[in-house]
């Protein structure tokens, strides 16, 4: 008997199969929780966002069009749930390295390895050198995958400001990451 794909599980969930929901949860909850914790230091909000994600999956599994990766679809739901939970709350301090390393799973997925590389490699250094308002915009749009409209809601800014900040941030990141050649960047 073969292991069902994520798409198979979603079809079964749409048909009311609770065991399929449980299996999808077991497959994805760990990495979703880790990524949500990296975006928010409040464990209650993170737990609520994760729970709301799978409630939404239960209710709307039939709406998945089969386009793209199911994991990306789940992350989109999760981050939107977290954004909704964060609305109207004061901004929290970012998590420290000791908290992140304590939450690091024993088995790293390719996505976790990439995120760690972004956090601690040259890109992480370049991101940390950006002004906070530019760094927050890059994190929301590039790393979390939010649209400019969603990032604007999260950051409490007009959508045009998010786009402008992202454009400026990209220029500054290029300058920091690209070695100068013949006096040019």
Chain centroid to CA 52: 15
What is residue 153's predicted lDDT score, i.e. its pLDDT?
Answer: 77
Please, are residues 111 and 46 in contact by the beta-carbon 8 Å criterion? Answer: no
What is residue 185's predicted lDDT score, i.e. its pLDDT?
Answer: 46
30-44, 83-97, 117-131: which range is least confident on average? 83-97
The dihedral region occupied by 67, where left means phi > 0, alpha psi between -120 and 50, and beta the remainder, is: beta
Please, are residues 30 and 103 in contact by the beta-carbon 8 Å criterion? Answer: no
pLDDT band at 10 (very low <50, low <70, confident <90, very high): very high
Please, are residues 13 and 58 in contact by the beta-carbon 8 Å criterion? Answer: yes
- pLDDT tens per residue across span 45-88: 999 999 999 999 999 888 887 777 888 889 889 988 888 887 75
Q: Is 181 helix (H, G, I), strand (E, B) or coil?
A: strand
- pLDDT tens per residue across span 145-174: 778 887 887 777 899 999 999 999 999 988
pLDDT band at 106 (very low <50, low <70, confident <90, very high): very low
Q: What is the mean pLDDT of residues 21-31?
A: 93
Q: Is 79 helix (H, G, I), strand (E, B) or coil?
A: helix
Whole-angstrom distance, CA of residue 6 vs CA of residue 9: 5
Ordered by where they begin, the domains of the chain are: 1-105 (1.10.1740.10), 121-185 (1.10.10.10)
């Amino acid at each position: 008997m073969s292991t069902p794909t994520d798409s198979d599980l979603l079809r079964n969930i749409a048909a009311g199969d609770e065991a399929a929901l449980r299996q999808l949860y077991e497959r994805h909850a760990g990495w979703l929780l880790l990524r949500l914790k990296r975006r928010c230091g409040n464990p209650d909000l993170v737990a609520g966002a994760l729970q709301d994600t799978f409630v939404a999956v239960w209710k709307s599994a039939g709406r998945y069009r089969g386009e793209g990766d199911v994991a990306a679809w789940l992350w989109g739901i999760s981050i939107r749930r977290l954004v909704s939970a964060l609305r109207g709350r004061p901004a929290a301090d970012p998590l420290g390295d000791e908290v992140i390393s304590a939450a690091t799973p024993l088995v790293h997925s390719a996505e976790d390895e990439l995120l760690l590389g972004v956090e601690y490699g040259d890109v992480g250094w370049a991101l940390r050198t950006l002004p906070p308002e530019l760094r927050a915009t890059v994190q929301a749009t590039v790393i979390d995958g939010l649209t400019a409209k969603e990032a604007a809601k999260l950051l409490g800014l007009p959508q045009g400001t998010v786009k402008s900040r992202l454009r400026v941030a990209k220029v500054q990141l290029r300058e920091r990451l690209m070695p100068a050649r013949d006096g040019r960047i």
